[in-house]
Amino acid sequence: MHSVTNPLQACNDIFFKPGGVFTAVGEKNNWSWVAFIVVIVMALLPQYLFVNFVDIAWYQDLIISTEGDLSPAEIDQRRAFMTRSAFMLQHVVFTGIGFIVIQAIMALYLHLCTRNDDSHVFGFTDWYGFMWWTAMPAVINSLVAVALLLFWVDHQVSPAILAPFSLAFVLGIEMSSQWYGVASGLSLITLWSIYLMAVGIARWTSFSTKKSVIIAAAPTVFFTSLFALFALT
């Protein structure tokens, strides 16, 4: 039987043998700190590179174009606040905070969903550590995004490049499109994370595979449907 003996091995095996990783993580609570550090660092790296790479004047115009009809004075006011430093704060700091908060919300969701499990032994903090392992596909996303930014020639590049596996990037959907938000969230990376979550839930509970998949996929299905509904209205 394949065994996972250390957190670095777990960071590798999560992509190929996730079941064994979740079994080991369930017994080694402190391992999740490694996944947390890896995911956060890799998530912030392409954000930092993007802000330093993009044509700021063009990016300002792109953002302003999504905000409806503004007067010349309002445009000038908006542009004054859209400095490279401001974008850096938005992309790097807010991405990090957003990731941490979303993972906490998902951990609470999993904690509540699994409370009626007969073998319930994991609390909120356990599920919070669990969530960072399900986020490991974000590392692949970041590596590809970094590679694209390093070799991209045109500095007038959409932020969709930060999610190269998303429909927004693959189909070239512009930020001005009402479907940009929905398309940005539909990604192979998202599906991969849902798969890992389902595997982990099945390992950590007595739930069936079907029930584990439903629990793992429900938040994405709900919010994607909600955003799609808003896009249609």
- Mind listing the pLDDT tens digit for each residue in 24-34? 999 887 899 99
Task: Give percent above pLDDT 90 in the chain.
Answer: 76
Residue 207 has pLDDT above 60, yes or no: yes
Q: What is the pLDDT of residues 34-67, one digit of tens each?
A: 999 999 999 999 999 999 999 999 999 998 888 8
Contacts of 65 (CB under 8 A, 6+ apart): 175, 176
- Residue 107 pairs in a beta bridge with none
Rounded to an integer, the average pLDDT of 207-233 is 92
CB atoms near residue 183 (< 10 Å): 22
For the cut 70, the answer to whether the pLDDT of residue 208 exceeds it is yes
pLDDT digits (tens, 9 = 90+) for 154-175: 999 999 999 999 999 999 998 8
pLDDT of 204 > 80? The answer is: yes
Angle at 32 between CA 30 and CA 33, to 5 degrees: 80
The per-residue pLDDT for 222 is 94
pTM for this entry: 0.92
Alpha-carbon gap, residue 147 to 227, rounded angstroms: 30
Average pLDDT, the chain: 92
* pLDDT confidence of residue 203: 94
